[in-house]
Amino acid sequence: MKLVPLGDRVVLKQLVAEETTKSGIVLPGQTKEKPQQAEIIAVGPGGVIDGKEVEMHVEPGQKVIYSKYAGTDVEVDEETYIIVKQSDILAIVE
Amino acid sequence: MKLVPLGDRVVLKQLVAEETTKSGIVLPGQTKEKPQQAEIIAVGPGGVIDGKEVEMHVEPGQKVIYSKYAGTDVEVDEETYIIVKQSDILAIVE
Amino acid sequence: MKLVPLGDRVVLKQLVAEETTKSGIVLPGQTKEKPQQAEIIAVGPGGVIDGKEVEMHVEPGQKVIYSKYAGTDVEVDEETYIIVKQSDILAIVE
Amino acid sequence: MKLVPLGDRVVLKQLVAEETTKSGIVLPGQTKEKPQQAEIIAVGPGGVIDGKEVEMHVEPGQKVIYSKYAGTDVEVDEETYIIVKQSDILAIVE
Amino acid sequence: MKLVPLGDRVVLKQLVAEETTKSGIVLPGQTKEKPQQAEIIAVGPGGVIDGKEVEMHVEPGQKVIYSKYAGTDVEVDEETYIIVKQSDILAIVE
Amino acid sequence: MKLVPLGDRVVLKQLVAEETTKSGIVLPGQTKEKPQQAEIIAVGPGGVIDGKEVEMHVEPGQKVIYSKYAGTDVEVDEETYIIVKQSDILAIVE
Amino acid sequence: MKLVPLGDRVVLKQLVAEETTKSGIVLPGQTKEKPQQAEIIAVGPGGVIDGKEVEMHVEPGQKVIYSKYAGTDVEVDEETYIIVKQSDILAIVE
């Protein structure tokens, strides 16, 4: 199964937050409140959203920071995805 | 009886969430909070909605993920439908 | 007395929700929360509403589903009507 | 003293809700929550309100149903009036 | 000192609500909740307010009813004024 | 250090509210709730703010009344300033 | 790793608030409520944001005051950044 986002929606897959301290100890992600790093899986076509033309500026494969509290969790084939609006993506991580 | 949605409304019929574990055990859907998979039954004509031209991009028969908390449950002839706005449909499942 | 709705308002008369089980037992309508079926009694002229041109797409005699929580109950000559905006009508029942 | 409403405001005088049962017993109006019947006393000139052209469609002498919770009570010369926006008038009673 | 209002603001001076009963007994104003009668002291120039052209329709010396809860109390030279937006003025009292 | 406001922001310096009674006794300012008198220190360039052209109508040195609850306190070089939007300035005190 | 902000977002790095009293004693920053001083690290390209053309007026290296409560904390490579919209930047500190 494949998720095809509509409008200005973007399908994300959260990156496992492997928090490693400087000394190399891996800590499990504790806080649910921090903004999330994720990889873009699929990007909607944009177009007229709520009466306003929206152009898409992101593409699949990019790693991004998205706004905490944004998005909807979707479970498809036992994988969890997050569907956000492009405007909930704050920055690309290069 | 038949539901003919107005404007940018879409009539959905929820797909039974047959949650099956990897080992094949079927679990009943527990959480009401997860976004829903549904099949599109009928699509409104679009047009000028709240002063903005809305074009419809979905069609009957498509399987979709729609936003949790969105939509209105409607019971017609002992079947339950959900009427949402097109903008509450997040993605098409292919 | 006659109610003449203004703007994009529609006067509805709620249909008695005769909930009948498959075996034929009639149950009184219990839940006030379910969307309502109603018949359209009168339709406003539309026009510019809050700065936006609104065209009316419904007409008296149609049976409709309208949004729960929408509308204002009005009692005229011991009959109760509901006045809603056209945008609170979700679908026509045919 | 005379109230001259500004913009899209309308001055109403509430009609005494003489609730009479079929058998002729007059009941005092109990519920403050029901929409109100009122007579239009004065109508503002309309014009550009909040950046939008508003045309007035009501006139003094009409009996109207107005939205519950809307309007401001005004006491002038020991008479109480209600000042509402035209958009809070739901229907004309003919 | 003189208050020169900006934009669509209007400086008001509340009229002492000398509530007199028919028999001539003067009652002190009790309720803070009732809309207020006031005299216009100064009127802003209007112009583009929040992207919308606003024309001023009131002038100093007029007695007005203004919306309860609206406005900001300002104390200048031991006199108290109320600064409201023109749209908070409901009606002129003639 | 110097604060250069952006857009439609204005930097204010609160005037010490030397409340003097008629008999000449100076009272310390008690209420934090009253609107504030302040002097304008710096004025942003205006321009397109949130999609709307904003022209600046105030200038440094003017004494103004600004809306209570508006603005952000900023401490620079042990001086406290308030940064408000021009629309939070109610009137100029001349 | 590098953060590339989208749209009208700006990446900030908070300046350590070395609060020094006149006598030279350094006090640790106590209040989380005060607006923040920060240095601009990266600036988004602007463009059409929510249907409105946004031009960017800030640039990397500038020291700015930004609105308290605004922005999202982001941790990248053990450094904490704040991503805000340009409109949350109140003033440049020169």
- Quote ipTM for the complex: 0.79
CATH placement of domain F9-93: 2.30.33.40
Widest pairwise Cα distance in chain G: 52
The CA-CA-CA angle for residues G32, G35, G37, to 5°, reads 105
Round to whole Å and give the CA distance between E50 and E86. 14
**Which residues from G are below 8 Å from F when comparing CB atoms?**
22, 34-35, 51-55, 57-58, 65, 67-68, 86-87, 89-94
Contact call for C and E: 3+ CB–CB distances under 8 Å: no
Where does chain D show beta strands of DSSP type E?
3-5, 9-14, 19-20, 26-27, 36-43, 47-49, 52-54, 63-66, 72-76, 79-85, 89-93
Name the band, by pLDDT with cuts 50, 70 and 90, for residue D36: confident
D16: pLDDT strictly greater than 80: no
Identify which of F4, F11, F50 has the shortest CB distance to residue G52: F50
**Average pLDDT of the residues in A16-42:** 65
In chain G, where are the structural domains located? 9-93
Q: Which of D52, D55, D94 is closest, CB to CB, to C50?
A: D52
The pLDDT tens digits for E49-64 are 999 999 999 999 999 9
Count CB pairs under 8 A between chains D and E. 60
Kindly write down the DSSP assignment for every residue of F63-90, as one continuous string: EEEE-TT-SEEEEETTEEEEEEEGGGEE
Chains B and A touch (3+ CB pairs under 8 A): yes
Helix, strand, or coil (residue C45) = coil
Maximum Cα interatomic distance, chain E, rounded to a whole number of Å: 52
Residue type, position G65, single letter: I
The β-bridge partners of F20 are F26
Out of B39-43, C38-42, D21-25, G29-33, pick the least confident.
Answer: G29-33
A51 and B52 within 8 Å at the Cβ level: the answer is yes
Transcribe G16-52 into DSSP letters: P--EE-TTS-EE----SSS-EEEEEEEE---EEETTE
Cβ atoms of C7 and D87 closer than 8 Å: yes
What tokens does C75 get? 């009692």
When pLDDT is averaged across residues F57-76 and rounded to a whole number, the result is: 92
Q: How far apart are the C-alpha atoms of E37 and D74, rounded to whole Å?
A: 9
pLDDT, residue F30, reads: 46
What's the pLDDT band for E68 if we cut at 50, 70, 90? confident
Mean pLDDT of E22-29: 56
pLDDT score at C30: 46
Tokens at residue A47, please? 């177009």
In tens, the pLDDT along B57-88 reads 999 999 999 997 889 999 888 899 999 999 99
| Beta-carbon separation of A91 and G3 below 8 A | yes
User: Chains F, G: CB contacts under 8 A, how many?
Assistant: 61
Min Cα separation B54/chain C (Å): 14
Which structure tokens are listed for D28?
């005092």
Q: In sequence order, what are the residues at sequence separation of 6 or more whose Cβ sits closer than 8 angstroms to the Cβ of residue C89?
A: B6, C10, C58, C64, C65, C66, C67
Which residue, among F75, F66, F81, has the nearest Cα to F34 in the 3D structure? F66
What does the angle CA B52 – CA B56 – CA B62 come to, to the nearest 5 degrees? 150
- Which residues of chain C have a CB within 8 Å of the CB of B80? none
Question: What does the alpha-carbon distance between residue F26 and residue F20 come to, in Å, rounded to a whole number?
Answer: 4
Q: Would you tell me how many other CB atoms lie within 10 Å of the CB of residue G9?
A: 28
Distances (CA, A) of F21 to C50, F15, G38: 50, 18, 44
Residue B23 pLDDT: 64
pLDDT digits (tens, 9 = 90+) for A72-82: 999 888 899 99
Contact G64, G12 (CB under 8 A): yes
CB B65 within 8 A of CB B94: no
Q: What is the mean pLDDT of residues B36-62?
A: 95
Q: Are F11 and F89 in contact (CB under 8 A)?
A: no
Task: Tell me yes or no: is domain D1-16+32-83 CATH 2.30.33.40.
Answer: yes
Q: What is the pLDDT of residue A77?
A: 85
End-to-end CA distance of chain E: 29
| Residue G77 vs residues A22, A37, A74, D7: alpha-carbon distances, Å | 10, 12, 29, 58
- Confidence band (pLDDT; 50, 70, 90) for G10? very high
| Residue F28 DSSP one-character state | -
Identify the CATH assignment for E9-16+33-93 out of 2.30.33.40, 3.40.640.10, 3.30.70.240, 3.40.50.300: 2.30.33.40
